[in-house]
Amino acid sequence: MTADQDTLDEEAATRRTLRRGRAFAVGAILAYVAAAVVAVLLLRGEFWRALLLLGCLVVAVPVLWVALTRTGASRLAAVVGLVALGAGVVAVMFTGLGTLWALLAMVVLGGTGSRLGDAALDTVAELEPDRGRKVPAAHHPVLIVNPRSGDGKAEEAGLADLARARGIEVVELGPDDDLERLAEDAAERGADVLGMAGGDGSQALVASVAARHDIAFVCVPAGTRNHLALDLGLDRDDLPTALQAFGPCRERRIDLATVNGRVFVNNVSLGVYAKIVQSPDYREAKGATTATLLPELLGPESDGFDLSFTDATGTEREGAQLIQVSNNAYTLRGGGFGSRPRLDRGVLGVAAVQVQGALDVGLFVALQATGQLDRFQGWCEWTTRSFEVRSSEPVEAGVDGEALVLDPPLRFEILPSAVAVRIPRDAPGESPAARRQRSILTLFRGRATAHTPGSTP
């Protein structure tokens, strides 16, 4: 088969993929239109019932806030109120079967539209993205393995033995070992590719060593959440495939970020979350610990948070309950929520929120649901190359999920293109946010926005 025929076959496959994606997209639009028609008919025939249901939902948000942030009689009364609101919703629905069936139809049609929309985007995302330049296999690969991370995820997968079978030098992290020292030793022994099998905190430390020595880095997602792996486009449940990055693969450079000189790969959280993860009981009982601490942190008797900063408009802000500073910006709304489209923009993502009480929470949720969160006075979100948080006392922080206490002021910096990361050939290679954005562009432009399989960047 000639090269020209290969190209024609690839172009034909791309067109088929696009047609299939558009078919799913049309189905999604029709399902959403049908759901809207049912909603209009419901409002015309059963307006008062729909209004009551909406009212119950609106009231439920601040009542839930009270249940979470109060103790004693106030919490009990709020829980009783939530039960009463739930009973009211059921009563309203079942006293009008027409309303019930209409609501069920709306849910089914809306769910169908969502599934078809996802199918459309996933279909188009089959077109391979450009994941960086091609690189040969490592000459002296070294993988540091934390066997205890992720409840023994690496041991369960037999990762160390799989790595050795590939000719990779394995260094197992012991309970008393200094991870940074182990990584430095590996670099000094001549490692040209340095990998880490562990959680995000360990990934950040080893990536910083790789950056200092200008050697490539491999992320093996053997931790609990593995946010870095998600945004690199790795399959977090497939450790053996991650090892392919030590062989012939693709390589791209990503940013790192620092807080007071300490490198992080994902984000630093201040305020409520940072306070909760400081609790020694959090790892074993997350829900119970959170329920116990929220009244103290957000209730009417709380002292607030001694955190101040200057936002993008130059306005001084104080007392935010939550501040998140990330290595590149997260998608906080819409498709790909909670992941980052890119890790090479050379910016920090900053988001902060402050609410004054139950009514503020209700307004926040309503504006978020209608895509108007920017109108909420206590919310701010922007990107910057540097950022500072001030406080009169040491600041509790969650740095890539690890509980730390940092001396103020907290100075955040971005390190553009700091480290070269190798991506396995068989990995997806994109975060959910990046995949969603590229798929939408591809679908509606009618052409591939990235290289098709087998092409050369």
CA 201 – CA 144 distance, rounded (Å): 13
Specify burial of residue 90 (Cβ count, 10 A radius: 0-12, 13-18, 19+). exposed
Mean pLDDT of 435-453: 56
Give the CATH H-level superfamily of domain 133-255+419-437. Answer: Probable inorganic polyphosphate/atp-NAD kinase; domain 1 (3.40.50.10330)
Tokens of 295: 């009244």
pLDDT for 449: 43
How would residue 455 be classed by pLDDT, with cut points 50, 70 and 90?
Answer: very low
Per the CB < 8 A criterion, the answer to whether 206 and 152 are in contact is no
CA 209 – CA 339 distance, rounded (Å): 25
What's the pTM? Answer: 0.78
CA 391 – CA 371 distance, rounded (Å): 32
258-288: pLDDT as tens digits: 999 999 999 999 998 888 877 776 666 666 7
Per the CB < 8 A criterion, the answer to whether 236 and 226 are in contact is yes
Q: Is 91 helix (H, G, I), strand (E, B) or coil?
A: helix
Per the CB < 8 A criterion, the answer to whether 8 and 14 are in contact is no
Q: How far, rounded to the nearest angstrom, does the alpha carbon of residue 234 sit from its chain's CA centroid? A: 13
Mean pLDDT of 96-123: 73
The answer, yes or no, to whether residue 212 has pLDDT greater than 70, is yes
Mean pLDDT of 282-310: 72
Scan for tokens 């993988």, then name that residue: 143
Scan for tokens 């066997």, then name that residue: 147
332-378: pLDDT as tens digits: 766 667 899 999 999 999 999 988 776 667 666 666 666 677 777 88
Q: Identify any residues that bridge with 268 across adjacent strands, giving them in sequence order.
A: 325, 399
Mean pLDDT of 21-41: 79
Domain 267-416 - what CATH class? Answer: mainly beta
pLDDT for 142: 97
Alpha carbon of 13 to those of 10, 64, 118, 280, 443: distances in Å? 5, 51, 20, 54, 14
Task: Tell which residue, 311, 277, 281, 314, has the closest CA to residue 297.
Answer: 277
Mean pLDDT of 126-153: 85
